[in-house]
Structure 1
Amino acid sequence: MNSVAANVPSMTTSQRISIECVAYPALSDDADHYVLIHGWGLGRDVWHRALPQLRHVNVHCISLPGFDQSPATPYRLADLLNALEEVLPESCHLVGYSLGGLLAQAFLSSKKVLSVTCLAAGPRFVASSDWPHAMAEDVFEEFKAFFERDPNTCLRRFMGLQSQGDAEQKKSLAQSLGLLNANGLNADYFSSPENMAVWQKALELLGEVDNRKTLFESHNKPVHFIFAEQDALVPVSVAKIIESWSLSHIKVSVVPGAHGLPSHLNQDNNIARLLEASQREDRARYRLDKSRIARSFSRAAVSYDSVAGLQRQVCEHLFQQLPHESLPDNVVLDLGSGTGYFSHLLAQRPEPEQPKQLFNLDLAEGMLRFSREQEYSTGQLSHWLAADAEALPLADNSVDCLFSSLAIQWCQQEDQLFSEIYRVLKPGAKAFIATLGPESLWQLRDAWAQVDDKVHVNRFTPWSDLKRSIDNAGLCSDIEKDEIVVRFDTFKQLRFDLKNLGAQNMNAGQEGGLSSRRRLEALLKAYEGFRQAKSQGGQLPLSYEVYYLQLEKPES
């Protein structure tokens, strides 16, 4: 268990807001990161019985200001969100309970966040004239006044309300309250004006936060709402309302018979099962259609090189990392060879530095035909293979060096991919791979998210997932990360380049049919918001996150 804290300036006082975050590392170094945010009335101990279920992932338990050991510093909502952003790890999943779920929804636009799961939390906690599916406003105001008069009694009644009719829930909340008391929440705690004020502020947030607009404008990130059927604080009717929105990135679940979620999720691996189910559905939604990939790149073969500036730049950088002096008499595999630009680069090297055999392998037969027709004077024996990288038609221990530039991002089963790479590499051999990370095309993804909630942009695998598959295959790895920004004068040119590269949306979950004129006009308007100032060139940027990998198969 490790503890870290973020300290950011408060916009309302001269003090700095401190957010405590206790980390529970997973058994595996490359496991996913889950950040748990508690609700009002209970600190991070609301999760204490769920932690053993989550040993397969890295867990980070947040303590909001005034809870657990986090100092009771005054703040505004913006201050709190900034402080939370500071402690979030890169590429994490947020899980929030009650107030924590409301706060988690505010991070749907954060580049650090991959998904959000909300437990007993809808878009709003308190009802309004246009949102009756929440606690009545007069009930909430009465509760606030009760807390101001007698905070200790109010807190105990609040916990009792959450456990109505559920003996197990009462037991769980009683244990959590005991842990809170052990951490300093005793009868004298609220005698401090600072402590009282920060708890009141957290209570006010329950009445202030409204995430409906955020959810409709979210960046296609998965959101999972989970409600208890018998919850006394959050009416289960909100589940049907959210479902009626028919937003494809939002899933809603109701736990039958449950009176409150803490005790339910703390037992029988329930929280682990729910999180794993969410991830499975998310992966299915973004499943790649390989037949479409092959057809798309085959059609693009003739025009590909004319617009492949990024691809050439990445390929050339990766090419410089090769051990050229050791290539002679070697068997080299170009995995995802495309139009044969790697062969073109090899042809420019002195003949003594060229390999004995070169296998050009690609999923798109059109690319292989185009590559074979080029007259690259390489001197080596070349072969062209139409095959899937996840099922290589090569013998075990047959490849001395594997080269792959911007190809494996089209592979869905990373475990199978890297197992195949391990299988065909000779002991001690290396693979040099360039691929794309999840921040690639983020401007296009954000622009589409302002138009609708459909899948329009390819989603790329984060390093944590790739690293896990690489390690599972038995390969040693090293990584270099880079960001490349391509700039265009017009949005039409940007779309033209993506189409001619064969790199348009390949997700099986994408919407079919042609985009209407109205939707394309909305997309253009949204993307124009990214246009740089005239002093910076006045162009439209499109970013790519590039991973350069060096993998090695151990000698034994």
Structure 2
Amino acid sequence: MPDVKNRIKIARSFGDASKSYDISARLQRFTGKHLLPWLPEKQNITVLDLGCGTGYFSDLLATRYERVVGTDISFKMLKYAKESRKYNIRWAQGDAFKLPYQTGSIDVVYSNLMIQWCEPIDKALQEVMRILKPGGLFVVSTLIDGTLQELKASWAQVDNDKHVIDFHTEDELNQLFNIGAANKVKHLSKDIVLEYESVKHLAIELKGLGANQVPKKLSKGLAGKEKWKKMIESYQNFQEPSGIYPATYSVYSALIIKTSS
């Protein structure tokens, strides 16, 4: 399994964020709902919510489909989901690189803003294609290059360390999602700008989403107070006249079908 230590860190980070996740998940709610029209109308199918988190969308899926499974790498997230969701959903802990499902057993895999944490993405895609039935659908949203560009540019004025993960480009994902049994039917790319009261507000929301694990980071732990101060001063270049601090999220959504081969 690719980079096991980093996957464990990600699972722990999201687990720690489980109780605050739904409060912070403005972006997830927006992108997840925009995937729903791509889902099939047929009800008697098995749908997997991959990277289900707190189970918010697992609950929505369970209102439309007879069999819904929620899977996440974080045990704490699954525990919270099981305690918080009212519909008949099966929960299973699993990693996107090694899913606990039989080959060709799932009709639809729904995955909202999770796959960006999977590197290499093509290995996770191969696993999704393995568990899908021929003709099955992979409905996915993820983040691409351009995400948090304001934060990235502000940190670049402070040091050469990596404070924001490297996201794939749109062209890279278009190629990755047409490999092997995967056939990308359609995709959309859209920049979503969220507003924050302060840079600290942004940092708190990112931490509340569990999105504070950055592979390839040189220095460990939190940045020093002086570095934070310099970064915030630099971020003020993006501050709007109203005093609001913007943060850009570049979202890529795709509908992928598993070919019969």
Give your verdict on TM over 0.5.
Answer: yes
Aligned pairs (5 A) from 1:122-271: none
The alignment partner of 1:495 has SS state of helix
Q: Alpha carbons of 1:423 and 1:301: their partners in 2 closer, same or farther (altered >3 Å)?
A: same
Q: TM-score, normalised by structure 1?
A: 0.45
Give the deviation of 1:287 after TM superposition.
11
2:247 corresponding residue in structure 1: 542
Q: Alpha carbons of 1:508 and 1:366: their partners in 2 closer, same or farther (altered >3 Å)?
A: farther
Question: Does residue 340 in structure 1 map to residue 55 in structure 2?
Answer: yes
Q: Would you say the 8 A contact 2:24–2:209 is kept in 1?
A: yes
Select which of 364, 384, 397 maps to 2:74. 364
Deviation digits for residues 138-195 of structure 1 (CA, Å, limit 9, x no counterpart): xxxxxxxxxxxxxxxxxxxxxxxxxxxxxxxxxxxxxxxxxxxxxxxxxxxxxxxxxx
Q: What is the CA–CA distance in structure 2 between the aligned matches of 1:513 and 1:302, rounded to whole Å?
A: 23
Q: What is the CA–CA distance in structure 2 between the aligned matches of 1:469 and 1:519, rounded to whole Å?
A: 37
Q: Would you say the 8 A contact 1:318–1:548 is kept in 2?
A: yes
Aligned pairs (5 A) from 1:31-430: 289-323=6-40, 325-326=41-42, 328-347=43-62, 349=63, 354-377=64-87, 380=88, 382-430=89-137
Give the deviation of 1:464 after TM superposition.
2.6
Deviation digits for residues 358-411 of structure 1 (CA, Å, limit 9, x no counterpart): 12111111111100101323xx4x221211101112111111111000000000
2:225 corresponding residue in structure 1: 517
The alignment partner of 1:332 has SS state of strand
Q: What is the CA–CA distance in structure 1 between the aligned matches of 2:65 and 2:241, rounded to whole Å?
A: 48
Q: What is the CA–CA distance in structure 1 between the aligned matches of 2:86 and 2:36, rounded to whole Å?
A: 16
Q: Alpha carbons of 1:419 and 1:391: their partners in 2 closer, same or farther (altered >3 Å)?
A: same
Give the deviation of 1:288 after TM superposition.
8.8
Counterpart residue identity of residue 502, structure 1: G
The alignment partner of 1:461 has SS state of coil
Two-structure CA RMSD over aligned residues (Å): 1.8
Counterpart residue identity of residue 69, structure 2: F
Q: Would you say the 8 A contact 1:389–1:417 is kept in 2?
A: yes
Counterpart residue identity of residue 258, structure 2: K
The alignment partner of 1:337 has SS state of coil
Q: What is the CA–CA distance in structure 1 between the aligned matches of 2:4 and 2:155, rounded to whole Å?
A: 19
Structure 2: runs of 5 or more not aligned: none
Deviation digits for residues 184-212 of structure 1 (CA, Å, limit 9, x no counterpart): xxxxxxxxxxxxxxxxxxxxxxxxxxxxx
Q: Would you say the 8 A contact 1:307–1:497 is kept in 2?
A: yes
2:197 corresponding residue in structure 1: 489
Q: What is the CA–CA distance in structure 2 between the aligned matches of 1:505 and 1:452, rounded to whole Å?
A: 18
Question: Does residue 553 in structure 1 map to residue 255 in structure 2?
Answer: no
Q: Would you say the 8 A contact 2:162–2:214 is kept in 1?
A: no
Q: What is the CA–CA distance in structure 1 between the aligned matches of 2:31 and 2:5, rounded to whole Å?
A: 23
Q: What is the CA–CA distance in structure 2 between the aligned matches of 1:419 and 1:375, rounded to whole Å?
A: 30
1:473 corresponding residue in structure 2: 180
Q: Would you say the 8 A contact 1:287–1:508 is kept in 2?
A: no
The alignment partner of 1:452 has SS state of coil
Q: Would you say the 8 A contact 2:163–2:217 is kept in 1?
A: no
Q: What is the CA–CA distance in structure 2 between the aligned matches of 1:505 and 1:298, rounded to whole Å?
A: 12
Q: Which has the higher contact order (CA 8 A, sep 6+)?
A: 2
1:461 corresponding residue in structure 2: 168
Structure 1: runs of 5 or more not aligned: 1-285
Q: Alpha carbons of 1:371 and 1:320: their partners in 2 closer, same or farther (altered >3 Å)?
A: same
Q: What is the CA–CA distance in structure 2 between the aligned matches of 1:475 and 1:288, rounded to whole Å?
A: 28
Q: What is the CA–CA distance in structure 2 between the aligned matches of 1:343 and 1:359, rounded to whole Å?
A: 7
Q: What is the CA–CA distance in structure 1 between the aligned matches of 2:161 and 2:30, rounded to whole Å?
A: 31
Q: What is the CA–CA distance in structure 2 between the aligned matches of 1:508 and 1:306, rounded to whole Å?
A: 29
Q: Would you say the 8 A contact 1:336–1:407 is kept in 2?
A: yes
Counterpart residue identity of residue 314, structure 1: T
Counterpart residue identity of residue 294, structure 1: A
Q: What's the % identity of the aligned pairs?
A: 34
Deviation digits for residues 345-365 of structure 1 (CA, Å, limit 9, x no counterpart): 235x4xxxx323212111111
Q: What is the CA–CA distance in structure 2 between the aligned matches of 1:337 and 1:520, rounded to whole Å?
A: 32
Q: What is the CA–CA distance in structure 2 between the aligned matches of 1:317 and 1:388, rounded to whole Å?
A: 25
Counterpart residue identity of residue 503, structure 1: A
Q: What is the CA–CA distance in structure 1 between the aligned matches of 2:137 and 2:28, rounded to whole Å?
A: 21
Q: What is the CA–CA distance in structure 1 between the aligned matches of 2:4 and 2:44, rounded to whole Å?
A: 39
Q: What is the CA–CA distance in structure 2 between the aligned matches of 1:317 and 1:288, rounded to whole Å?
A: 33
Deviation digits for residues 212-232 of structure 1 (CA, Å, limit 9, x no counterpart): xxxxxxxxxxxxxxxxxxxxx
